[in-house]
Structure formats: structure tokens, C-alpha cells
Structure 1
Amino acid sequence: MFLRLSQLIVGLILFGAGCAVMVDAGIGLDPWTVFAEGVSTRTGIGIGWVVSITGFLVLLLWIPLRQRPGVGTIANILVVGGAMQFTLPLLSTPDPWAARVVMFLVGTVLVGVASGIYIGARLGPGPRDGLMTGIHQRWGWPIWVGRLTVEATVLVTGWLLGGTVGLGTVLFAVLIGPIVHVTLPIFDRRVRVRPGPTTDPGAPDAMRASAGPAVSAPGT
């Protein structure tokens, strides 16, 4: 458990740092960060703190969806926004457009690797991912429908509030899934066993875990 908690915290810190790199690149963001940037622009609250506040408010939506948070869910709310807020002053936006694209790609890779690390700890989903699965379990919507509906809503809302939508938004949508697909199996903490005569339907879940982990797109 100590190793899993350590992995969780490291992953969440790197996730927040990666989000800060993408913000400073200034070429567009993922839907939830567009929303956080828009709220930050309107209120003057630091974008990292908005991420934390939004995570808490999203967690409240778990109540009618009958979802239960894990340690990782609470840590996600507490750590990601703070790491993001403290990283931003250390960065500066380069002038050349190509350099900004490279900076955004570095941030995306960092977020993808960090997602594999913290999701692989298996200590609970982030509040936004739990919202998607909760909608699926409570109302029977396909997960992709719930995700598309929610993320399209927060993206448009964030854009109207002044959040940055652009090339980075498209790059993130295209790249993040494949990156997590590669990194998650590397850091996955689930116990795996080879099929054999001792592996039966009555065995404990940990002893029957499959070798192919489900991939969940990260939510900040």
C-alpha cells in the first residue's frame, strides 16, 4: 500500500505539472482545463485552485449517481491543482509558434505518462472520470456518450468564459488515449497470474485479474 500511495502521489504531481506546461504553451487545452482557465480568467482565482474547486464540485455530483470515492479520488482533488498552481510561475511561454507546439506536446506526454502512473496505482478514479462511469452505471448511457456530452458542455462553457481552444485541444484529444494505452500497463499494480488449473471462478479477484488493463482517459 505504501508503494501504491507513493505511486499515486508522484503521478498526480506530474499530472499537475504537465497540465501547467500545456497551459503555458498557449495553443489550446483539454476541455476541463479550458473550463478551469475560463473560470480563472473571469474570477481572478489561480487556474490550479479552480481545478481543485471544480474537482470538489464534480465529486458532489457523485452523490446522486451513487458513486463512492477512493483515496485516489480525494488525492486527485487535493494534489493536481496545487501542483499545477506551483509549477506555472516556473514556466514561460516561448515566442516561436513551433516552440509552443513542442512545449504543448511535452506537456501532453507528461500528462499521459502521469496518468499511467496514478491510474495504475488502482486507488480510485479522478472525480471527472468517476462522473462518466457514474452516468453509465446510473442511467445506462454508453461511457462515450456521457463523456462526449459532459466534455462538450464544459469545453463550450470554458471557451465562452475565455478559455483557450485551439490546435492543442485537437492534439490532446488525439494523443492522450494512445499515450495512456502504452504507459498504463507499465505501471499497473493489479496482480496478474497465468491461467492454470488453480485459477477458477471462485478465486479472489486479485488472482483472476486479466493481463489487459482497461484504459481510462485522464481527467484533471
Structure 2
Amino acid sequence: MALSRVRAQRLGTYLSGCAVFAAGATLFIHSSYGVDPLDTLALGMLEHLPITIGIAQASVAVVCIAIWSVWNRRRPVVSPFVTFFLCGSLIDLMRLADTSVIPAPAQLALGVVLCAYGSALIIMSGTGIRAMDLIVLTMTGRWRWPFWVAKASVEAVLLVLGYLLGGPVGVGTLCFLVFVDGLIQPFMILNQRLLGMENRGLTVAASFPTPAPAPQRS
């Protein structure tokens, strides 16, 4: 009974996180101030390849999962694709809503908060963690980097690659990189301290063994 309750709580946290993140991403889109670093890369790829945004993002996810799998010597996981599909579907539905009554700057600001908090919930659930965040958690666990430093580093790589490929970069893109990535960890801490939530994502990251140094040859 207790195990079922824990699983239900994890699922509820995960689904809530997907819904909150999708709402934030929708406001980002409606604000017209720019896209997140992943979309910058995806749109940059479209400048050179005859693919769709969905295929571009899925390709990035495949690369991230492959890196995570090799790095941690684990089987590739498919749950990030469930999150990818679920959040994408929710965004498609939410985009039908008329948000024109909200000023664009307010949409951007609210989008930042919702994307950060939704990301925090997904990670804390330990379920369906996004492909990029799997690498971030590995960096956090192995290198003992603060989460926000690892997160911003990965997103910055995507942003630079996307920009070099011709992807769009706007005020919203920079806000995502600085504020969304910077707020995820504080939100996780607040959830732990105020709501007593367990951070299963960072718990998993802490269990990643640090590779032993190569033996010295005499």
C-alpha cells in the first residue's frame, strides 16, 4: 500500500511538472520574444536539413541519451521520449487558448517561472527526466557541480550550436538560459523544505560513481 502511494505521488508530481512546463513553454511562444536554446538548435538544423522541428528535437534527445548511456554504462532509456511527446502535445493544446489579454513581457516573465518550476517537478519525480537533464544530473553527480551550473552549461552548448547553424536568438532565449536554468535548483530546494518533497532526480545523480583514476605505472 505504501509503495503504491509513493508511485502515485511520483506520477502526480511528474504529470504536474509536464503540465506546468507546457504552460510556460506556451507563454514563451505567445510572447514572441524568442525560443529556448533547444528550439534555437532545432531551427538552426532546419536551415540545413529537410526535417521537421520534432525530428530535430528528437535527434538531439537521441544524442543526449546515447551520451548518458555510454557515460554511465547503462541501457538507453525511452522515458524521456514520453515526456517529449506529452509536453509537446500539451503545448499544441494550450496554444489554442487566447493569451493576448496578457502583455507580452508578462507572458515572458510568467513563462520563465512556469518552465523552471515544471522542470523542477519533473526532475524531482525521478520519472521521465528529459534527455538533456539526464546529462546535467550526471555532471552534478560525477563532478559535484551545482545543478544550475551544469544545466546552464549544457543549454549554452545548444544555444551556441544553434546560433552557428543560423537558429534565432532573442531576448526570450537569453531569459531562458539565465533565469529558467537558474531557478530550477532554488525551486527544488523550496519544494524540499516547504513541501517536504523528495528530490529523486538528485538522489539518483548522487549515486553515480566517480570513475577511479587510472593506475600509475612505475
**Under a length normalisation based on structure 1, what TM-score does the superposition of the two structures give?**
0.64
Equivalence for 1:51? 57
Q: What CA distance in whole angstroms lies between the structure 2 residues aligned with 1:112 and 1:104?
A: 12
1:4 aligns with 10
The one-character-per-residue Cα deviations of 1:179-207 (angstroms, maximum 9, x if unpaired) are 6513543566329xxxxxxxxxxxxx9xx
Question: Structure 2, unaligned stretches of length 5 or more?
Answer: 1-6, 207-218
Tell me, in whole angstroms, the C-alpha distance in 2 between the residues paired with 1:161 and 1:14.
Answer: 30
Q: Identify which of 165, 171, 182 aligns with 1:167.
A: 171
Q: In structure 2, what is the Cα distance between the partners aligned to 1:119 and 1:157? A: 25
Distance across 2 between alignment mates of 1:43 and 1:82: 24
Q: Distance in 2 between matches of 1:181 and 1:12?
A: 18
Mean Cα deviation higher: 10-19 or 46-55: 46-55
Conservation of the 8 A alpha-carbon contact between 1:120 and 1:187 = no
Task: Give distance in 2, aligned partners of 1:189 and 1:49.
Answer: 35
Gaps of 5+ in 1: 192-204, 215-220
Contact 1:34–1:158, Cα closer than 8 Å, also in 2? yes
- On the 8 A contact 2:80/2:128 being kept in 1, the answer is yes
How far has the Cα of 1:8 moved from its partner? 0.5
Superposed CA RMSD in Å reads: 3.8
Q: CA separation in 1, counterparts of 2:11 and 2:168? A: 33
- Which letter does structure 1 place at the counterpart of 2:15? I
Residues 112 and 180 (structure 1), Cα distance of their counterparts in 2 relative to 1, 3 Å cut: farther
What is aligned with 2:88? 81
1:38 offset after TM fit, Å?
3.0
Amino acid at match of 1:87: M
Distance in 2 of aligned mates of 1:141 and 1:178: 18
Change (3 A) 1:148 1:18: closer
SS at match of 1:58: helix
Report how many aligned residue pairs link the two structures. 189
- How many percent identity over aligned positions? 26
Whole-angstrom CA distance in 2 between matches of 1:4 and 1:156: 34
